[in-house]
Structure 1
Amino acid sequence: MPNEQKPVNPVKLDANMRIPQSATPSFNWYSPLEQPFHLAGFGWLNEEKLYRRLPANPAWILPEAVNSLANCTAGGQIRFTTNTASLAIKVKLSGAANMYHMPATGQCGFDCYIGAPGEQLYYGTTLYDAKQTEYESMLFTNMEQDYRSITLNFPLYQGVEEVWIGLDPAAQIGPPAAYDRNEKVIIYGTSITQGGCASRPGMAYTNIVSRRINREFLNLGFSGNGKGEPELAHILAEIPDPACLVLDYEANCVSTENLQATLPEFICIYRNKHALIPILVVSRITYAKERFQAQLLQEKEDRKQVQMRTVKQLQENGDANIYFYDGSNLLGEDAHECTVDGVHPTDLGFLRMADGLTPLLKKILAD
C-alpha cells in the first residue's frame, strides 16, 4: 500500500521556522509614551495618548469604517537610541491576526531597524503565536553594548492597545536623531497605502520612503475606504506643520464620476487651510487583470485623465505647488509579478513603489 498522506507541519520539521523558546533575560520595561522615546506616525498622539491615526473625537463625523480603521497603527514608529545588548517588546493587540492573504507578521507584528537616518538596516520581526492577542517577543540579544539608533515599526492592520519596550537593566536610553525638518509628509489613500499586503511593517511603501527621507510620515491609508470624503479633507487640513500631502485614493474612489467630484473638492478644502503646501496626486498602480480585461484598463485610463486634468487646471489657475504622478509606472513592466492577489503589492511591489516615489518626493520637499 502507498504511504498514507499526512498533513505537513513545516514548523515541526524546520527549526528555523519555530518561535524561539530561549530563556528570557531580566528586563526593565518602558512605555514609549515617555521620554526619551519618540513616537511618530500618530498625528493626535500628544493630545490623546492613543495609538490611533485620526482624532478620537473629530469635529467632522467620520465614516464608521474609517473610524474603525483609524485604530490600525500603520505607519507608527517608536524611535530611540540605546546601548542595550538585548531588546524585547510586549504587545497587547485589539484583535488577533485574521487575514488570508497577508502574513500575521505584517498585520499584527512589529519589526526592528537599526541605524541612523538614511542608514537603517532591517534586523528582525516579532515572532509569536498568531492566534494570540498579547505577546512578548525578543527582537535581539547578546549584541555588543554599543549605542544604536532603533526604529520599531507598528503593525499595519491591527490596533495596538499597549506596547512596552524591554531593555537590559543597566542599559542607557537616549532620544533619536532629529528629523531634517519638523514638517510631516501626509499620505492619504487606500489599503495599498495602509500597507496591504506587506510581509512585515517596514515594507509598507510609506515606511520604506521614511527610511530614505528623514521626515515624519503619517500613513492615512484606509482599507477599502479611502474615498476622498470631504470630512477627511477637513480633518487632514487640521494636522499642523505639513510638508506635503499625497493623495493616492483612486483605487477606492467608487466611480470615475465620483473621483471627478471628490478630487477637486478635497484639494479645495485642503487649500483653504494650506495655500502653499505641495500636493501630489498619484494615480493607482497596475492591476494584474488589466492585461485580460479591456474594460478595467479603460477605467484606469479614464480615472488617470480625471486626475491629470484636475491638476493641470489648478496649475493653470495659478497653483504652482500641485503635481501629478502616473502610478501605473510604479511597478514596472512585470507589474503582474508584484502583488499577492493582483491588486495588493508584495514587498517587491512596495519596494518598487518607494523607488518611484522617493526621488519625486525629495524634489518636491527640496523645492
Structure 2
Amino acid sequence: MGLLQHQFSKEFRDIVDFVYNQHFVLDQKLKKEYTDYQKMRMREDIEYNLSFLEISYRLDDKTIFHEYSLWLMSLMMNLMPHVGLTRMKEKMVLHYQLMKEAFKIIKVYDNIDIINQMIDDAILSTNNFQNYAYDAFVTDDRFGLMRRKYLDYLLKHDSKSAMNFIMELFNAGFTLDEIYIDIIQKVMVEVGQLWHRGDIGVAEEHFITVATQSVLSQFYPIIFSTTKKNLRLLSCSVGNELHEMGIRMISDLFEYHGWDTLYLGAAVPKKSILESIESERPHVVALSVTMPQHLLLCRDIALEIKTKYPDVLVGVGGRAFTMTNEIWKTWNVDLYATDARKLIQLSEEKVIRVD
C-alpha cells in the first residue's frame, strides 16, 4: 500500500500520529516555540512531506525527495528565520529520524531499504545545507530590464501600467514568443521564488497571476486570427492540479503558430481527457504537472493515451519534471520541453514524420 493511495487508512494516520507526537516527546522546546496554529500546520506539513517520499518511492526516482528536502529547508528558513540555521537543522533532522522510526514500526512499504536511503539522503542534505541557490532573475540579457519593469508594476498593484507596457513591447516589434517565454514565463518563475523566500504572500502571488492572465488576454484577437495548419493540440493539467497558467500559455502559442487548440484547463479527470481525445482526434496531447504528487497519474494517463491512440503524440512538462532524474525518458511519451517554443518545434517535426 502507499500513502497517496490510502490517505485515510489506519496505517497512514498512524504514521502521521507517530511522527507528530514524537516530535513533542523528544523536543520539549517545541511546546513553547509553536503556537496552536503552528502545531496544526505542523501536522499538515508531516502529511505533505510524506507525500513527496511516497511519490519518489512509487516512481523509483530518489531525485524527487532529494530536491524536495532542499526546497523544504530553504522554505523553513525563510518562514522562520528567527529560529536560526543550526536549530532548524536540528528540527528537520529529528523529523526525518522520526519518519524512519515510524516506518520500522508500521508496515507501509515492501522495500524499507529504499525508504531509509531516501531519508538518509535528506538528512545529509539538511546537515550540509547552506543556501538554496535559485536561477538568477537576470537583468543583463536582452529581456532582463523588461522583466524587472513588468514585475515592478505588478508589485505596486499597477495592472494598467503592466498591461500597457507589455502591449508597447509588442507594438515595438517584440514577438509574442518573446513576450510569453522570455518575459512573462520568467517573471512568473520569479514570483514563485519571491513567495518561497517570504518576500510576498499568497494573496500577492495570486494577484500577480490573475493580473498577468488579464495582460495576456489582450493578445487573443491576434492569437486566434492566424492562418491554420490543420494541426490540433489538446492540453491540460492533470490530477487535482490547480496550477494551469503555464499550460495555458503553451496553448496560446500553439494557437498563434497555426494550430487549432483545445485547452481543457486544470484538474481534468483522466476519463475526460480520453473522451476529448476520442472526439477531437488531436495530433498532440500536452500534459502539465507542477506538483510531483501528480506525476504518477500523469504517467498512467500518458500510457493509456498511447495504448488507445498510438498515433497521437504525447508531450509532458511542468515544474514537477525538473525535480526528477529525467523521468520522462523512462515513460512512453514522445515529447518533453521546458517552454512552448521548443515544444512547438518538436511537435511540428514529429507530426510531419507521423503524418
TM-score (norm 1): 0.34
- Specify which structure has the bigger relative contact order, considering alpha-carbon pairs within 8 angstroms and separated by 6 or more residues: 1
Report which of the two structures shows the higher radius of gyration computed on alpha carbons: 2
TM-score (norm 2): 0.35
The structure carrying a bigger helix percent of its residues is: 2
